[in-house]
Chains A and B, each alone.
Chain A
Amino acid sequence: MNSIKALLFKLFFIVLLSACEAPPRTGGSGNNLHSTEIITVDTVSANEEYVMITTAINMPMYVNHDQAAFKMWAKKMGVKASILGPSEWDIPAQIATFEQVIPQKPAGFLVNGTDPGIAQVINKAVDAGIPTVVYDSDIPGARQHSFIGSDWYEMGRLQGERMVKILNGKGKVVVMGILGMTNMEAGFQGFLDVIKKYPAMEFIGKYDDKANVELAAKITADLIVAHPDLAGVAGFDGNSGPGIALSVKEANKIGKVKITTVDAEPEHLQLVKEGVIDYLVGQKRELFTQMGAQMLFDMRHKTIAFSKNDAKAGVVPIPKKIITGSIEIDKSNVDLFIK
C-alpha cells in the first residue's frame, strides 16, 4: 500500500517537473525572429486598434506632444488609438497594463521606453507577433521591431559645443539630470567629450535633480554659493532648465551663469525669451509617435515587402532605428516657436 502511495507521489512530481516551462535564457538580440510570425492583415479596418503604453499619462510633455500627435495620426488614418498606463510614474503598473493588453492582440504597440525594466514585456509582445515600436529611450535587451527617438549623445554634444562657444572656451561648468538613466548618461558623455577638448573649461560634476524643479533649483543655488565663479549649467531632463533658471534669477546671476538645457516646452521658451536660458535642444517628440505609429501600420499591412513572406524570411520591413534629430533654439529663433 505504502509503496503504491510512494509511486504515485513520485509520478506526481515527475508530471509536475515535466510541466515546468523554463523562461528563455537570454533577453538578447533578434536572431529568434524567425520563430514568430508577425500578424499581418490586408485590409484596413476602422476597428483596428493601435495602443500606446506609457506611464504618468497626464504629464504635460507627454499629453501635448506624444499623445496629441498619435491621436491626430489615428484620426487621419481612420483607425483607433488607445492610450493606456497609470496616472503616476509607476513602471510596474506600466508593465502590468502592457501584459494585460497583449492577449487582446491589438494591431500594434507604441511603447514609451521609460525604464530598462520593461525589456521583458516588450519581448513578450514581439513573441506574440504584434508589431512593436519603442520610442523616446532605447531599451537594452529588448527585441522591439523598431526604435525611434533622439540621439542623447548628440544632444549632449550640441549643448557642450554651444556652452564652449558662449563661454569663449573657459569657465566652470556642471551638468544636471537623472543619474543612472541610460539616455541621460549618454547625454552627459556627449557634453563631456566636447568639454575635454578645451583645457580652460573646468568640469565640476554631475548632479541628480531627479527630474524635480525644486531639487534642480536647490542644487543650483548651492553650487552658486560654493563656486561664485560658476560659468555654466547644462540640464538634461525636462525640469532641469526651469529649476536652474529659477535659482540663477534669484541669485541675480542672469547672464553670468549660462544655461543650456533640453526640451522646448512653453516654460523653456519663455525663459529663452527673457534671456535666462541661452540655448535649448528640443526633441522632435511628435515624430516619435506619429512615425512610430505609421511604422506599425506599414508593418501590419505589408506596405513594403522584401520577400514573399517577410515574417518567415526573418525580415522586419521597417527601419531598425530612427534618430529624429534635434531642434536648436536660442534667442534668434525663439519667437518662431512661441505659440
Chain B
Amino acid sequence: MKLGLKNISKSFEVIKALQNVSLEFHKGEVHAICGENGAGKSTLMNILTGNIQPDAGEILLNNQIVIIQNNQHARSLGINIVYQERSLTDGLSVAENIFPLPPTKSFGRINFVQLHRQTKALLRQLDIGEFSPETMVATLSPAQKTLVEIAKALATNPAILLLDEPTASFTDKETTILFSVIRTLKKRGVTVLYISHRMAEIKLIADKVSVLKDGKCQDTLSTNNCTTEDIIRLMVGRDLQQVDVATHSSEEVVLSVKNLCGKGFNDISFDLKKGEIFGLGGLVGAGRTELAMAIFGAIPANGGTILKNGQRIYNRHPKQGIANGIAYLPEERKTLGVFLQKSVAENIVSARLYGKGYNVKTNNQKAGEYSRTLNIRSSSVQQLMSKLSGGNQQKVVLAKWLNTQPDVLIVDEPTHGVDIGAKLEIYKILKQLTADGKSILLISSEMEELLLLSDRIAVMREGKIKGILHKKETSENEIIKLAAQ
C-alpha cells in the first residue's frame, strides 16, 4: 500500500505547525521522520491517525484521496500507531492486552485457549520469544512493553505502522531486539514510519529519512547515500533572529555545582556566573530536567554539593530552593507550571504564599505591575489562566518566579508551545534579567535558542555533561554531535 501526503498544512492559532508538506511512503519501507522539537512531527502523526484534520492538502492512499475521520477510521484503513506513552493495562496478561476484544464462547465467556493460541502465533511471527501470552504485563520491562504495544498494533493487520520515539527508554540490547522485529515487519510488507531523534538509529534501520523543520519538509534522503552530518544540516541551519545578544556575564560565581548525583544524572559540576546565561543542551531524556529539579529542591540529590555565593546550601524542598534565591520555570507548563482554574494574579503570587497575610488588593496591584513590565495580555489580572494563550501563560509563570526575587532562574524549555512573537519577547526578558544581574540556567532542545541566548553551553547525554562549549567557538553541529552520537 502506498501512502502519500500532498501539500498538507495545519496551523494552531498563530503557529504554523505544518506548511505545504508533501511526502510519500512506499510499501515495505522503513521511513524515518526527524526534526527538532516543534518541527511538526507530532502534528503530522496526529493527522495520519485522524486525531486532527489538516487545514489544507490531501492524503492519498493508493492514489485515492481519503479523509481520515478519527483514530478508528485510520485503523480500518490500515494505519496504526504505537505511541510514546503506553496504553497497556498492567493488571492483565499479554494476550488480553493485545486483543482487547478477545474471542468468546457462549454467554460471553472468554475463549482463553483460542486467545493464547492466536497471541502465540502473532508473537512467533514477530520472533518475540522473551515472554508468553500468559505473562502479566506488570512484570515486563519498558522495552518488552513496547514490543507488546507493537504486537497489539499488528493484531489489526496494519499496512502502515507509526512508531513514535520507540527507543526513548531502551538499552542497546533492547534496541537490537526491536530492530529485528522491525526488519521482520518489513519483510512482511509493512510500511514503518519511524520517528526518532537518534541519528545512529536512523542510519541503521531506515531506508529513507525525511527531515522536518519549522513545519516544512526540508528534504527526503536515502540513508544509503547520505551522512549523519547531512541530516543534521537539514535539521538546523536557519536565519538567526535579531535579538540583542550582548553578554552581561561577569566573573563572579553565583552558583557552583560540584559532583552532583541523583536519579537520571551523575557527577555534574559547573559554575554559574553572575549575569550569565548558562545553556544546558542535549536530547530529551538526557537528564537535564532532573538536574534542574535537584538544584531547585524538587527532587532529592544523592551526592555532591551546591554552593551559592560560596555558601553551601541544601535544597530538600522547593520551599528551600526559593528561600535560597533559586527559581525554576518547569518544562511542562500545563501540568507543572500553572493553576489553570486560578486567576492571573493568583498564579503570580503562588510561589510566595508565605508570611501570614493574603491580601487580594496588594496581590492584584503587584500582578498588575508584572503584567505591564512583561507585557502580559489578559483582560485583567482577575482573568482565569485557562483563557490565556500559551505565550502569555508562560509570561505569567515568569512573573510568578520573578516575584520570588531569585538570583538564579532556571528555565526549562521556556518557549515550548509559544508563538514566535512571544518567543522573542521571552528572549528579551531573559536577556534583560541578566543585565539586571540575575543568572540564568537555560534548558532548551532548540539549538537556535541555545546558541542565541547562552554565554556558555553544557551538553548532556545519558545523565552526564559531555562538554562545556563557549558560544563563540561552537556550532549547532558540534552540539548535536555531542548530544546524539
A and B touch in the complex (CB under 8 A): no
Binding site for B on A (CB under 8 A): none
Which B residues lie at the A interface, using CB under 8 A?
none
